[in-house]
Structure 1
Amino acid sequence: MLQTYGKQLTSAKRLARFRRALKLSRSQDEVTISREAKRRELVERIAREIIENLIVSNTENPVVGSILQQLEHETGKQYVFEYPLDGMDVQILHDAQGGPNEVTGPERQEVMQRLWKITLARVDATML
């Protein structure tokens, strides 16, 4: 029951972020940009969606699986990404001898940067 409640909270947070982004996009002036810039923007948007929603939800999507495998290969650690019930920012955990530990500080920034670069490259490679 608590897992279901946690999933509902996560979905509600995603919906709130989506509505905020939608509201901001309506208020900005439309600017004509090059085809390459549009593609880059689309790749970044899809990569952001993968990181914020699919990786955190432990989906069995093959793209997500390959991204996490590459991250594990590059860092030598297996990470779990989840949203805490009380916060808005994603929590990164990895297994250690004493149980799961939260990744914080410079290591957290490094993991998030690697995850972002891997996801961007993977999305860019699969886009037509």
Structure 2
Amino acid sequence: MLANTADVRIMLRTYGKQLSNAKRLARFRRALRLSEAQDVVDISRQARRRELVERIAREIMENLIVNGAENPVVEDILDRLEAETGWPVLLEYPLDGGDLRILRRSEDAPESLGPEEAAQLMRRLWEITLAKVDETML
């Protein structure tokens, strides 16, 4: 089978371009290694860690805290929140499947919080959870 000379030229030109790009990338990598590449690596590690901390904190808030799981991390987070607020906090989803309700436990009956107070409490719960996860991660 004979190859068309135009096809061979196109193939060789394509390989030549790929070889030039590979050499250019290798020079760039060498220059990057010699420069302050360590800073870039540290920033990306910190960003990945922050993303992982946020993902774990979200899981804790969505699953463990609201479900009342008996977990030392969850207990510590809720203890910190209760120490800051000065009253026991109750988080629950209504049986009808509505949004999360934040209640203040009292001796008579649990009291529902207003929307502004509930938003502040959830923000603070998020901050405490992030701090706790960040403390406990290696």
TM-score under structure 1 length normalisation: 0.70
Superposed CA deviations along residues 88-113 of structure 1, whole A, max 9, x for unmatched, are 42111112354111112211011101
Q: Percent identity?
A: 59
More helix, by proportion: 2
Structure 2 Cα separation of the partners of residues 90 and 34 of structure 1: 35
d(CA) in 1 for partners of 2:98 and 2:133? 25
1: CA distance, partners of 2:101 / 2:113: 8
Measure, in 1, the Cα distance between the counterparts of 2:99 and 2:56. Answer: 19
Partner of 2:49: 39
Consecutive unaligned residues of structure 2, counting only runs of 5 or more, are 1-42
1:11-90 correspondence runs (5 A) = 34-90=44-100
Q: Secondary structure at the match of 2:84?
A: helix
Deviating above 6 A after TM superposition, structure 1's stretches of 4 or more consecutive aligned residues are none
Higher Rg: 2
Kindly tell me the number of residue pairs found equivalent between the two proteins.
Answer: 96
The letter of the residue matching 1:125 is: E
Aligned CA distance change for structure 1 residues 74 and 101 (closer, same or farther; 3 Å): same
- Counterpart CA distance in 2 for 1:89 and 1:51 is 14
Structure 1 residue runs without a partner (length 5+): 1-32
